[in-house]
Amino acid sequence: MIESIQQHKMAATPAPRAANTGPKAFAQEKLARMTLEEKVLLLTGQDLWRTNAIPRLGISRMKTSDGPVGVRGGIFTDGVKTASAPTGVSLAATWDREVIEEVCEVLVTEARSKEVDLVLGPTVCIPRTPLGGRNFEAYSEDPFLTGKLAATFINSLQRKGIGACIKHFVANDQETRRFFIDEKIPDRALREIHLQPFQIAIRDSDPWAVMTAYNKVNGTFCSAHDFLLQQVLRKEWRWDGLVMSDWFGTNSIAPSVNAGLDLEMPGPVRRRGQHLLEAHHRGLVKASAIDACVLRVLELLYKTGKSEIADWQEGQEKAIDLPEHRAILRKAGADGIVLLKNSDSLLPLQNLNGKRIAVIGPNAVRYVGSGGGSSNLEPHYRTTPYQSLKTEILNKYPDADIQMRQGILTHRYLPLLESSVMKNPVTGQSGFILSFWRNMTHSGEPFKVEHRPSSNLVCYDGLPPELTTGERYSYRGRCIVTPKTSGVHQFSLSSCGPGKLYLDGKLLVNIERRWWSQKSPLFMSYGSPEERVDVEMEAGRDYELLLESVSREPKPYELTYTGELEREEVQDGGRIGFLEYPGDLDKLLQDAVDLARASDVAIVVVGKDHEWESETSDMVSMSLPGRSDELITAVTQVNPNTIVVNQTGSPITMAWESKSSAIVQAWYQGQEQGNCLSDVLLGNVNPSGKLPITFPRRIEDTPPYDNYPGDNDVVYYGEGIYAGYRFYDHRKIDPLFPFGFGLSYTSFTYSNIRLSSDVLACDDTGFNEIEVQVDVTNTGRCEGKEIVQFYVSQVSAPRLSRPVRELKGWDKVSVAPGETVTARATLDRVSISYWNDSVQKWVIDGDAKFRVSAAKHSRDGGLDAYFTSVAKVEWVH
């Protein structure tokens, strides 16, 4: 296997370039030979993931792929398997640059195995509300932590020749009405909170590409935002890479090109092409604007190594599952797990021989590796908490008794058909046979027939090329369903276009409406709500299940060359759900409680999943789904040794917090989720993760509560610069668990904070830096890692209001029992500056006094040291 990877790397490596070439020289030479039509062709994608090629000039295609938690490849649904890494918030919870570097080693190999040139990540938008459906992808509520980790991610990919596309520029922090919402963001909040993670990452890493957000900012779509793209990104920050749209997120023709949106994705062409040519002929887009965009596309092509490949022919994607990759992802996942509570040192679990351990909960026996949406993928393999815990416990303690009860159901939609109950009637494989017709009536012979392994029959990137140009079509999906049990089972259907679901020829569901405006998380697009039906079925009997549907009628829109265009949707397909009769739900819960009562330890694994926490829809509350809280409360009442494991990417309410002996925030850990958890619970790994987001007690305490999600497609960022922990400090609200909080199986004390200088001298000619150091002593019995956080406060009265304290550095140190090590961080002018909107510059007050605190979390007083600035300084970049 290793040899095959090396062969692939050699095959993908271009020949050495001549010494006098470079991206700009290459781009200028190609541009000089291009026709206007060829230039315009280069400014839009060829298909869902690839750019256009111009073989006449030796200009190759490039291939992109999501993303932040793994490199999916070129198929969105049911694609080639790939490594599934911990999600962004879990990686941020490690506060460990080395962990991110190691994870990126895996992503680089996966990108090469899928022949991907540009990875669509990292996601660095600041999670504004705990209800954000896409929070799990992002790193942190703090812009400094986010920007620094993103820079590490980007550098780790790009130094190995794989491009990174930082996203979504800017403030794509809610899924509710994300294609239409106008975010009214005050200038200081825009600069200090929402733009700053991009600014830090771009300054420290120079990503090859930036992806624009769907939303508007202060009245203008980000895909055509001249101020953000030209004034800030290119002029102030002096960044000259490629800007691409989010998928189907180009909202104009002329304005997007004039603002510097270089690449419309995906293809085939929608907004540009002939429309852009016409706009140019009408004088609405200058040739110089088109050329500028083309140059940046060509420069990216050069950076990917494709400039030496005249006619790139894509090979077959490969699934490369390596033991060293498994080890990296297992370590990364465990290092991100946060121990929130550990009364009476219940954890780590030890001396379990002869003990009964109950593993309870809806997430105990299922794989919950990620939230939903574009970052989701098909992992190399799946682990579950129960199976991993059972294996590890019995390996260590063969006389232990470990049992499981599900307790409750928490699905938002009916689950997809399990592979064990369905089969393709032609091939006998688990799955469906899917047939396409180039007409709307399923008439004649299908022009394409293929096997699909799941009942999520999405016609998105799996369409035959003949059907990607807007031609309408019809399709049928057919399989044999053999239930395992007898009883009243449930089927469900959701579809993008009209669809009918039959069982043995009987019509179960008929969806007739054209879904133009109903947003469906099931499709990341517009589609019908899920319709369910009860069906009496017999165990072991074969039933024919048939979905018959047609593609959606395209939504008409009024063409304008200079104004905003309505969003187009091209996704089609149907999703079929199936749930066998679960029995008495009250008894299901009671069985779990009875097991907990009879056990020495109860581990309750709860949380959300890719249905509840997903791109395209925000969450309805901070509560856990279904009867989760009831289950936890009932178990804690009968077993004092209850460990609650929560798998979410966002904070949840915990009415049962005081009753639980231990609480573990496990996030979404990808393919190693079960193994990561067992490592921490059994003490193979000492937990070192700390929260990169605040856990509030209730939704009413959160910064945007009075303003989210907005009215009439307008949302006001009323919290201003007081985002995340800044808000709780400012309002003196005690969170449930503060930003930066996390426990260990050992204990640490801090001492001897010191500064390399008590003056941070900044003036028009230059500035110095201050190193802050603090000693950390392990006062416990086992080795552990401590994340020392350095917060800066302006003690003297600032000209403008400022947060109580702001994170400006951290250091993660490993300390043996009884050992003392030094944690350190560097403070510079960015550490003490703020944005003054009256002068539109970053400002340091002259003769100001500052405090730096070495703390364990944002609400910890810590140890303090003081320094001063000298002269007043203003700057832009």
Whether residue 870 is predicted with pLDDT greater than 90 in this model: the reply is no
Q: In whole angstroms, what is the distance from residue 127 CA to residue 135 CA?
A: 6
The partner residues of 15 in beta bridges, in order of sequence, read none
Would you state the pLDDT for residue 173? 96
Q: How confident is the model at residue 865 (pLDDT cuts 50, 70, 90)?
A: very high
Q: How confident is the model at residue 593 (pLDDT cuts 50, 70, 90)?
A: very high
Whether residue 4 is predicted with pLDDT greater than 60 in this model: the reply is no
Would you state the pLDDT for residue 75? 86
Per-chain mean pLDDT for the chain: 93
Q: How confident is the model at residue 765 (pLDDT cuts 50, 70, 90)?
A: low
CB 281, CB 299: distance < 8 Å: no
Q: How confident is the model at residue 513 (pLDDT cuts 50, 70, 90)?
A: low
Which pairing describes strands 873-875 and 784-794: parallel, antiparallel, or unpaired? unpaired
Give one DSSP letter per residue of 172-233, joined into a string.
----TTTTT-EEE--HHHIIIIISHHHHHHHHHH--SEEEE-SSEETTEEGGG-HIIIIIII
pLDDT in tens, 636-652: 999 999 999 999 999 99
CB 509, CB 493: distance < 8 Å: yes
Element (H, E) at 340: strand 338-342
pLDDT in tens, 385-416: 999 999 999 999 999 999 999 999 999 999 99
Q: In whole angstroms, what is the distance from residue 165 CA to residue 207 CA?
A: 6
pLDDT in tens, 269-304: 889 999 999 999 999 999 999 999 999 999 999 999
pLDDT in tens, 29-80: 999 999 999 999 999 999 999 999 999 999 999 999 997 789 999 888 888 9
Residue entry with tokens 């298909």: 47
Quote the Cα angle for 578-579-584, to 5°. 165
Q: In whole angstroms, what is the distance from residue 524 CA to residue 453 CA?
A: 20
Q: Compare 169 and 528 and report the one with higher pLDDT.
A: 169
Segment 814-833 mean pLDDT: 97
Residue entry with tokens 């957000």: 213
Q: Compare 69 and 695 and report the one with higher pLDDT.
A: 695
Work out the number of other CB atoms within 10 angstroms of the CB of residue 431.
21
CA dist list (Å): 817 to 96, 448, 857: 21, 66, 22
Burial of 841 per CB tally in 10 Å (0-12, 13-18, 19+): middle
3-state secondary structure of 104: helix
Q: In whole angstroms, what is the distance from residue 302 CA to residue 729 CA?
A: 48
Element (H, E) at 814: strand 806-815
Residue entry with tokens 């007409």: 439
Q: How confident is the model at residue 792 (pLDDT cuts 50, 70, 90)?
A: very high
Segment 9-33 mean pLDDT: 70
Q: Compare 853 and 556 and report the one with higher pLDDT.
A: 853
Three-state SS letters, 321-339: CCHHHHHHHHHHHHHHCEE
Work out the number of other CB atoms within 10 angstroms of the CB of residue 193.
26
Q: In whole angstroms, what is the distance from residue 217 CA to residue 174 CA?
A: 13
For residue 501, which amino acid is it? L
Segment 360-387 mean pLDDT: 94
Per the document, the length of the chain is: 877
Backbone φ and ψ of 58, nearest 5°: 70, 25
Q: How confident is the model at residue 374 (pLDDT cuts 50, 70, 90)?
A: confident
pLDDT in tens, 85-97: 999 999 999 999 9
Q: In whole angstroms, what is the distance from residue 348 CA to residue 339 CA?
A: 11
Whether residue 16 is predicted with pLDDT greater than 60 in this model: the reply is no
User: Which residues, other chains included, contact 140 with Cβ-Cβ below 8 Å and sequence gap of 6+?
Assistant: 89, 92, 126, 127, 146, 149, 692, 693, 724
Q: In whole angstroms, what is the distance from residue 166 CA to residue 830 CA?
A: 21
3-state secondary structure of 462: coil
Would you state the pLDDT for residue 313? 85
* pTM attached to this predicted model: 0.95
Cis peptide leading into residue 266 (ω within 30°): yes
Catalytic annotation, pick one of 246, 335, 609, 618: 246
Work out the number of other CB atoms within 10 angstroms of the CB of residue 830.
16
pLDDT in tens, 542-560: 999 999 999 877 777 788 9
Would you state the pLDDT for residue 766? 63
CB 699, CB 705: distance < 8 Å: yes
Q: How confident is the model at residue 461 (pLDDT cuts 50, 70, 90)?
A: low
Residue entry with tokens 């932590």: 145
CB 855, CB 740: distance < 8 Å: yes
pLDDT in tens, 489-506: 999 999 888 899 999 999
Segment 110-131 mean pLDDT: 97
CA dist list (Å): 556 to 438, 553, 566: 21, 9, 9
Query: Strand runs (DSSP E) across 460-524, as ranges?
Result: 474-481, 487-495, 499-503, 506-511, 519-520
CB 646, CB 666: distance < 8 Å: yes
Would you state the pLDDT for residue 333? 98
Tokens of 383: 């682990």
Element (H, E) at 767: strand 766-767
Whether residue 568 is predicted with pLDDT greater than 80 in this model: the reply is no
Which pairing describes strands 806-815 and 834-836: parallel, antiparallel, or unpaired? unpaired
Tokens of 724: 């995340």
The helix-helix angle for 673-681 and 385-396 (nearest 10°) equals 40
Would you state the pLDDT for residue 518? 53
Across 11-15, 280-284, 752-756, least confident range? 11-15
Whether residue 751 is predicted with pLDDT greater than 50 in this model: the reply is yes
Return the closest-CA partner of residue 352 out of 405, 404, 394: 394
Q: In whole angstroms, what is the distance from residue 762 CA to residue 14 CA?
A: 46
Q: How confident is the model at residue 19 (pLDDT cuts 50, 70, 90)?
A: very low
Largest CA distance in the chain: 83
Q: How confident is the model at residue 768 (pLDDT cuts 50, 70, 90)?
A: confident
Would you state the pLDDT for residue 8? 37
3-state secondary structure of 193: helix
Would you state the pLDDT for residue 570? 61
Would you state the pLDDT for residue 77? 81
Tokens of 181: 């919402």
Q: How confident is the model at residue 26 (pLDDT cuts 50, 70, 90)?
A: very high
Segment 318-332 mean pLDDT: 97
Residue entry with tokens 């140190």: 813
User: Which residues, other chains included, contact 573 with Cβ-Cβ below 8 Å and sequence gap of 6+?
Assistant: 456, 457, 458, 459, 460, 495, 496, 523, 549
Would you state the pLDDT for residue 91? 98
Tokens of 518: 């109903």
Segment 415-426 mean pLDDT: 96
Would you state the pLDDT for residue 78? 82
Q: How confident is the model at residue 626 (pLDDT cuts 50, 70, 90)?
A: very high
Burial letters for 751-783: b for 16+ Cβ neighbours within 10 Å, e otherwise?
eebebeeeebbbeeeebeebebbbbbbbebeee
Across 21-25, 126-130, 565-569, 776-780, least confident range? 565-569
Domains of the chain: 22-307 (3.20.20.300), 323-413+583-728 (3.40.50.1700), 419-578 (2.60.120.260), 748-875 (2.60.40.10)
Q: How confident is the model at residue 234 (pLDDT cuts 50, 70, 90)?
A: very high
Query: Strand runs (DSSP E) across 111-235, as ranges?
Result: 118-119, 163-169, 182-184, 209-212, 216-217, 220-221
Segment 375-379 mean pLDDT: 89
- Is 246 an active-site residue? yes
